[in-house]
Structure 1
Amino acid sequence: MNDIKIDTIDLVIIIVYIIGILFIGLWSVRKSKMTSENYFLAGRGLKWVVVGAALFASNISTIHMVGLAASGYNDGLVWGNFEWMAVFTLILLGLIFAPFYIKTRISTLPEFLEKRYGPSSRTFVAIMGILAALFIHMGMSLYAGAVVFESFFGISMINSIILISVITTIYTVVGGLKAVMVTESIQTIILIIGAISITVFGILALSEHGITTFVAFKAAAKEGQLSMLHTSSSLKAISATAASTGLTWYAVLLGYPVMGIWYWCTDQTHVQRVLGARSLDDAQKGSLFAGALKILPVFILVLPGVIGYVLFKDNIGTDANQTFPILIKELLPIGLKGIVAAALLAALMSVLAAALNSSATLVSVDIVKRLKPSTTDKQQVLYGRIAAVVIMILAMFWSTQGGKFTSIFEAINKIAAAMAPPITTVFLLGVFSKRGTKEAAIVTLWVGFLLGVISFCLDFVPISGHMYLTDGLGIPFMMQAWWLFCVNCVIYYTVSYMTPKPDPKAIAECTWESPLAVITKGKLTGIFDNRLLAGYLLLVMVILYIIFE
């Protein structure tokens, strides 16, 4: 990557951001009594704007900011489907899952599974949640951030890892979820401003090069680079790398929801923000607000990559990872470079804080409290803080291994494709199927997990030496997620009908009366009823997909 010369003004902005976010994180909880509910769920008093902003910030990491620009340069807007399809799963979070999460007043997602199925499922998903936070959300994000700051600004990888980890750990460990949420709200604003600035200056640069219309822009880009939906042949027309992604329209339509429901609706790292909402209305509106925000990354993270191809392909060449730094170097004036650097920090720190707080919650609530029921409220907070420090240290060590992966962004998605299907199955069918049993849940989780591990290993070149599923059978990772989900559904229903019916109390508390009840239950409360807001958001997405089909 090209090093970016840091001006004094930009350096001051970065330092002010680091000191400011640490101060705000600690100041936000200066008068808070640290009960377990305050520490892990911010006292269940979060408003919908904060819930939505924090959901968005907990997702956008440095990997997204750099990786999506590189993907836009290579393959175009097709990678933006990971952002736009998230809108649909966030609607599912708000309308289908949030009502049960708020009604049952759970502290963790595994706790919900215990109410629906029993303790065995809770233990399994709690452990999986901790591992996902450690190995995916924290370790890989920390490595990617360190690489970026070393490449962009000449800060050594080890120093970057230590500095970012220490600062994030301090306000997360001391302040709990409230400190995380307050800082994430601020980081969302910084992140969006930083990303928008690149897009705006990129569009202005296009005008300076005589590209003043969308038609001219499309002509200057690769064929299909500005399209969201593709067939196998249209992907091949873009590039060999685009063809290898397997991101056809049907793979996105079938495979992403399997991964997205796990990621957005059942993963503690993200859903903990919803659990801290002050009411069901705030939980639902927060989810929908996050969905609206997820429209932006296509235009402020992926589109700049296409602009980079049109303007700087001679400089960038075949190393797409240079796209983001070159855009910063060539387009942004002094001062804005510092804001973008702050945005990169914001993206990384928000993800780390979210994963750190959620994993501490899982350890304290789902493991320590269950193994030792006599644990006091004060002790729970202490164990949570200790767990957070230990997990961060482990993530720091794991992050040093990130260089062994050829593509972190793709590796994370492939891990998700293997991990998500069984968890998505037991949660989704759990809230809709009145016949699903505790035996079906635990068998599905274990067998589904083993099948996912096998499929991942068969397609992971460092282990198998060949991509047997993608190249051999023509089943890319998105379709692997879909077919694994189908197999898990068969396992779930087969075991369910071979075992006694579930507890009627669990069904009444955790399952919809019918699929239509999601939108028909209760009278509409006006034009801002959450079901209508979801409808408006769906309409916007349909229009956008028609424009960028």
Structure 2
Amino acid sequence: MGLGTLDLIIIGAFFLLTIFIGLITAKKAGKGFNEYFLSGRNMPWWLLGISMVATTFSADTPNLVADIVRKNGVSGNWVWWAFLLTGMLTVFVYAKLWRRSGISTDLEFYELRYGGKGAAFLRAFRAVYLGIIFNILILASVLLAGIKISSSMLGLGPVETVVIVSIITLIYTVLGGLRSVIITDLFQFAIALTGSVLAAIYILGLPEIGGLNALLERPELEGKLNLLPDFSDKEAWIALLIIPLAVQWWAVWYPGAEPGGGGYIAQRMLSAKNESHAGRAALLFNIAHYGIRPWPWILIALASLIIFPDLDALRTAFPDVPESVINDDMAYPAMLTYLPAGLLGLVLASLIAALMSTLSTHLNWGASYAVHDFYQRFIRPEASEKELVAMGRIFTLVIMVVAALFALTLENALEVFNLILLIGAGTGLLFILRWFWWRINAASEIAAMLISFVVALLLYKILPDNFTYWSELEGHYRLLLGIGITTAGWILVTFLTPPEKDEILVNFIQKVRPHLFGFKKVLQRNDISAEDYPSSDFSKELTAMFAGVFMVYAALFGTGFWIYGQIMEGLIATAVFLLTAVIIYRLRLKVF
């Protein structure tokens, strides 16, 4: 499909803007580690919140949503909607703790909370494992989305796509560091959101669709429109609702939805002006991520079931696309080929923006681990600030190149999503409790990390490849099994190994001032009064958390009700949204 002159102008202008931002921020970013990886710790909440949501507004996210909707209907999105609970827990409980800690990366937390060789091992290993290996997996899955978009919309091959996107992203990320990434995210989010909304409006107006009302009445969508799974289908509601809401949100680690915060979300919070800005940034992120963005993607995914009802329809429409790329997650970019000149350029620029935003964040985040938590900590403690910046740029380049090569071997975004869920299964509870329970130690974290990886390898690869029973076992049961084994394993190790030394725990209490209900024995042994290290009101934080959950779900489902023409339900959801928003506003001085 060819692009018109206007389309090329729009895309070219976007590329020039991103490169320009990288150039103007390069000088300041080069001053040292804090400037390059933390933007000088002086970022406002609104800019950080938009940056967080822009990062998760990845080009592979609408593809993933299309895959989910086509396979499991709208209610299938509960597999990621459930993560709102851990997001709100981070907003009102953990954001202030991260910012208060004063650390430079979330991996530095290990040597603040734990001591000795175990803490050092954790920091070094996870710097390599998360910052490089695991990060490459994420980057490759994002690039896979770019490959599918370019193959269906531009006719570009996988190698061409990867090379072009990688070079443009590297220019502004390597030059400007996190400041460049965050500022670019602001423009990229605006373009991405505008593009997705306009694309949905245009596609609904296609003659094949006939408008929103006609789409909702199509028999092909029977059972696909429900916001909740069919409760007469036991497997559906267990897999799509019960497990995500009852277990997954607190038990599974997933990038961008880490229980207790972490990763690039923690990086943004550590870059905030103060604790209040950290919490408000996380709140804005969760509102936009779950409450604002999903419906344009969902509507386009539903429309795709009319125009491309199955994979054969996609194959017929795109005969030159490699068979390995043909899957349900290709339906989203396939629908965008119907857009007219001008709008096509804007939407394509929005997808490129989403793609590059995620890539740049993961590159900078991964490089920060490699530099701060591995290179500086274990190889060159005496490294100068300029040397650290130089190494950050080198690691950024290396991670991008390896991820680009790996992307050429992947086939499906949902497979990557499920694999990542399984690898992180069972570790979430530890990440929540380690801030509040003195008994958790470095051995607990090492056990959780190793057990979850081995269990994921067994349940996702070794057993299914060798035994029919395991190959036929539904993914949600594998997830539950992984959670159970990993959680039991790290709890057992916790009680079989000695706790951290009191001096480590007391220092943690003094610096972070966490809620002390899980540190009472430490306080008693060291004759410390809890009043000496006051923390915020935990009951008000939990109240705000659940108010936030209801507020965002009300926004999400209220939008759906209005789209579906369900007036009464829409009014009720709107009322719930307003009520819970008022509750949070009145609690703001107590929880931020």
In the other structure, the counterpart of 2:301 is 305
In the other structure, the counterpart of 1:346 is 353
1:199 partnered with 2:200: yes
1:328 partnered with 2:336: yes
Quote the Cα distance in structure 2 between the aligned partners of 1:383 and 1:26.
Answer: 19
* 1:246 Cα deviation from its structure 2 partner: 7.5
Q: Normalising to structure 1: TM-score of the pair? A: 0.85
Question: Structure 2 residue aligned with 1:446, among 441, 447, 450?
Answer: 450
In the other structure, the counterpart of 1:289 is 284
Question: Structure 2 residue aligned with 1:539, among 542, 545, 550?
Answer: 550
* 1:261 Cα deviation from its structure 2 partner: 5.7
1:231·1:249 contact (CA, 8 Å) conserved in 2?
no
1:48·1:286 contact (CA, 8 Å) conserved in 2?
yes
In the other structure, the counterpart of 1:252 is 244
Q: Residue deviations 1:204-230, cap 9 Å, x none?
A: 4489837638xx715645332112332
2:48·2:268 contact (CA, 8 Å) conserved in 1?
yes
Larger deviation, residues 101-110 vs 360-369 = 101-110
Larger deviation, residues 159-168 vs 421-430 = 421-430
Q: Which residues of 2 match residues 129-528 of structure 1 at below 5 A?
A: 129-205=130-206, 209=210, 212=213, 217-218=216-217, 220-231=219-230, 234=233, 247-253=239-245, 254-259=247-252, 263-265=256-258, 266-294=261-289, 295-310=291-306, 313=309, 317=313, 320-321=328-329, 323-330=331-338, 332-371=339-378, 372-402=380-410, 405=411, 407=412, 409-421=413-425, 423-458=427-462, 464=465, 468-469=469-470, 471=472, 474-476=473-475, 478-502=476-500, 503=502, 504-505=505-506, 508=509, 509=511, 511-514=514-517, 522=536
In the other structure, the counterpart of 2:93 is 96
Unaligned runs of at least 5 residues, structure 1 = 237-242
1:22·1:167 contact (CA, 8 Å) conserved in 2?
yes
Quote the Cα distance in structure 2 between the aligned partners of 1:262 and 1:6.
Answer: 35
1:65·1:344 contact (CA, 8 Å) conserved in 2?
no
Q: Residue deviations 1:501-535, cap 9 Å, x none?
A: 333325525653248x9xx95379xxxx9877645
Quote the Cα distance in structure 2 between the aligned partners of 1:535 and 1:426.
Answer: 21
* 1:495 Cα deviation from its structure 2 partner: 2.3
SS at match of 1:431: coil
Quote the Cα distance in structure 2 between the aligned partners of 1:268 and 1:532.
Answer: 26
2:195·2:346 contact (CA, 8 Å) conserved in 1?
yes
Distance 1:311 1:145, change over 3 A: closer
* 1:453 Cα deviation from its structure 2 partner: 2.1
Larger deviation, residues 384-393 vs 439-448 = 439-448
Counterpart code for 2:375 = V
1:180·1:353 contact (CA, 8 Å) conserved in 2?
yes
* 1:260 Cα deviation from its structure 2 partner: 5.1
Quote the Cα distance in structure 2 between the aligned partners of 1:231 and 1:210.
Answer: 26
Distance 1:62 1:357, change over 3 A: same
In the other structure, the counterpart of 1:109 is 106
Counterpart code for 2:244 = V
In the other structure, the counterpart of 2:582 is none
Distance 1:445 1:315, change over 3 A: closer
Counterpart code for 1:251 = I
* 1:198 Cα deviation from its structure 2 partner: 1.9
Larger deviation, residues 291-300 vs 530-539 = 530-539
Quote the Cα distance in structure 2 between the aligned partners of 1:183 and 1:499.
Answer: 47
Quote the Cα distance in structure 2 between the aligned partners of 1:417 and 1:13.
Answer: 37
Quote the Cα distance in structure 1 between the aligned partners of 2:255 and 2:66.
Answer: 25
SS at match of 2:239: coil
Quote the Cα distance in structure 1 between the aligned partners of 2:45 and 2:309.
Answer: 42
Counterpart code for 2:280 = K
Q: Residue deviations 1:303-360, cap 9 Å, x none?
A: 2111232466499847645532443233x33211101100110111111101110111
In the other structure, the counterpart of 2:587 is none
* 1:391 Cα deviation from its structure 2 partner: 1.4
Question: Structure 2 residue aligned with 1:67, among 58, 64, 77?
Answer: 64
Distance 1:75 1:521, change over 3 A: same
2:137·2:403 contact (CA, 8 Å) conserved in 1?
no
Quote the Cα distance in structure 2 between the aligned partners of 1:534 and 1:207.
Answer: 43
SS at match of 1:305: helix
Unaligned runs of at least 5 residues, structure 2 = 316-327, 519-529, 562-568, 570-592
SS at match of 1:58: helix
Distance 1:467 1:108, change over 3 A: farther
2:426·2:484 contact (CA, 8 Å) conserved in 1?
no
Quote the Cα distance in structure 2 between the aligned partners of 1:316 and 1:419.
Answer: 32
Larger deviation, residues 490-499 vs 187-196 = 490-499
Quote the Cα distance in structure 1 between the aligned partners of 2:48 and 2:210.
Answer: 42
Counterpart code for 1:176 = G
Quote the Cα distance in structure 2 between the aligned partners of 1:459 and 1:16.
Answer: 50
Distance 1:106 1:539, change over 3 A: same
How many aligned residue pairs are there?
519
SS at match of 2:82: helix
1:86·1:260 contact (CA, 8 Å) conserved in 2?
no
SS at match of 1:264: coil
Q: Residue deviations 1:240-267, cap 9 Å, x none?
A: xxx7x98331122222443356642355
Quote the Cα distance in structure 2 between the aligned partners of 1:162 and 1:327.
Answer: 24
Percent identity, aligned pairs only, is 23
Q: Residue deviations 1:363-398, cap 9 Å, x none?
A: 110111112221222211111111111111211222
Larger deviation, residues 418-427 vs 42-51 = 418-427
SS at match of 2:498: coil
